[in-house]
């Protein structure tokens, strides 16, 4: 084997090993998210609803993983091809199943938080997810075993530290339009609120919120967490109360809108209009109808 060909094989092994490791890690994250989805479906409290919605932020970039394994072309060497093709094909199979599962999970969460009268379609999606989850679990185990066996013959498949130390493109929340809009609305709301409620304590709280938003915008983990909201009554009968809740955590910022309606014959019924979330990594997803009217 020529030195040039050997170098190509080593480079290929490094690339394939890196992608296989990412798929193994990503499939593990996806399976954990699936377990959480099955456990939290039909959340019984606002906290569980938040956790249920946040599952979508725990999903790996399945499309990116699929593209990554598809872009790797095995070098033209018969012996080498026969050795690594099963590993590459199995990784491709796992990535494809991961994409399908991620799409279904996002659809389930989206449908749940949209106005709907019954959950038939959601139950159908959940029924589809169970065999997909089992298949991913089985194929992941097969991929892991193939990776170990193939690495014995081609040690360069084993990912070293320097392969995982490459810098990733960083997206700051402050550069994301949805975060900019949410922050502007909240700051204006607080300014109006402090005008109507003069209080040193409220002013200090407002300043702390601004410090949080500034740190979060720059991708810096804030030093404090905040949980607050605005509540107002919209009509006397049926009695309806609207709310906008803010959950400012160290790594995720979330805003949700909803309310409670009370009638004499039905009783109290709570609902959620939308939930908006953005992570410290600048990743935002979900319902983008965040330009609502704050109280």
Predicted local confidence at residue 291, as pLDDT: 43
Predicted local confidence at residue 267, as pLDDT: 65
Rounded to 10 deg, the angle between the 3-40 and 120-153 helix axes is: 150
Predicted local confidence at residue 295, as pLDDT: 39
- What is the Cα–Cα distance from 154 to 9, expressed in whole angstroms? 9
Please name the residue that has the structure tokens 């009217």: 293
- What is the Cα–Cα distance from 137 to 146, expressed in whole angstroms? 14
Predicted local confidence at residue 140, as pLDDT: 94
Nearest Cα to Cα of residue 255 among 220, 289, 214: 289
Question: What's the burial of 237, exposed, middle or buried (CB within 10 Å: 0-12/13-18/19+)?
Answer: exposed
Longest pairwise C-alpha distance within the chain:
85
Alpha helices in 41-199 (DSSP H): 46-54, 62-70, 78-113, 120-153, 177-196
Predicted local confidence at residue 46, as pLDDT: 80
Q: Provide φ and ψ at 40, rounded to 5°.
A: -100, -5
Predicted local confidence at residue 87, as pLDDT: 95
Predicted local confidence at residue 40, as pLDDT: 87
- What is the Cα–Cα distance from 11 to 14, expressed in whole angstroms? 5
pLDDT along the chain (295 residues), means of 10: 68 92 94 91 83 87 92 86 93 95 90 73 86 93 94 85 48 89 89 84 90 92 89 73 88 85 68 82 60 40
Q: Provide φ and ψ at 259, rounded to 5°.
A: 180, -175
- What is the Cα–Cα distance from 101 to 44, expressed in whole angstroms? 24
- What is the Cα–Cα distance from 101 to 89, expressed in whole angstroms? 19
Other Cβ atoms less than 10 A from the Cβ of 80: the count is: 19
Nearest Cα to Cα of residue 248 among 219, 278, 272: 278
Both tokens assigned to 154: 């081609």
Contacts of 196 (CB under 8 A, 6+ apart): none
DSSP-assigned beta bridge partners for residue 235: 240
């Amino acid at each position: 084997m020529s030195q040039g060909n050997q170098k190509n094989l080593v480079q290929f092994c490094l690339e394939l090993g890196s992608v296989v490791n990412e798929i193994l890690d990503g499939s593990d994250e996806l399976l954990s998210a699936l377990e959480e989805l099955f456990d939290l479906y039909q959340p019984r409290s606002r906290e569980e609803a938040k956790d249920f919605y946040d599952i979508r932020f725990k999903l790996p970039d399945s499309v990116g993983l699929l593209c990554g394994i598809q872009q790797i072309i095995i070098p033209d060497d018969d012996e080498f091809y026969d050795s690594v093709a099963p590993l590459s094909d199995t990784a491709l199979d796992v990535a494809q199943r991961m994409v399908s599962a991620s799409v279904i999970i996002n659809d389930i969460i989206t449908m749940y938080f949209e106005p709907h009268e019954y959950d038939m379609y959601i139950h159908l999606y959940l029924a589809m997810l169970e065999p997909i989850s089992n298949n991913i679990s089985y194929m992941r185990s097969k991929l892991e075993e193939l990776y170990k066996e193939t690495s014995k013959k081609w040690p360069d498949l084993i990912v070293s530290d320097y392969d995982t130390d490459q810098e990733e493109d960083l997206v700051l929340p402050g550069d994301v339009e949805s975060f900019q809009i949410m922050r502007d609305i909240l700051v204006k709301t607080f300014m109006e609120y402090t005008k109507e409620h003069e209080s040193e304590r409220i002013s200090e709280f407002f300043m702390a919120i601004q410090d949080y938003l500034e740190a979060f915008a720059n991708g810096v983990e804030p030093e404090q967490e905040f949980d607050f909201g605005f509540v107002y009554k919209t009509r006397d009968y049926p009695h309806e109360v609207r709310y906008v809740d803010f959950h400012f955590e160290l790594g995720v910022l979330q805003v949700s809108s909803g309310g409670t309606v009370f009638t004499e014959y039905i009783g109290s019924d709570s609902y959620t209009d939308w939930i908006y979330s953005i992570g410290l990594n600048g990743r935002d997803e979900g319902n983008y109808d965040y330009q609502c009217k704050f109280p």
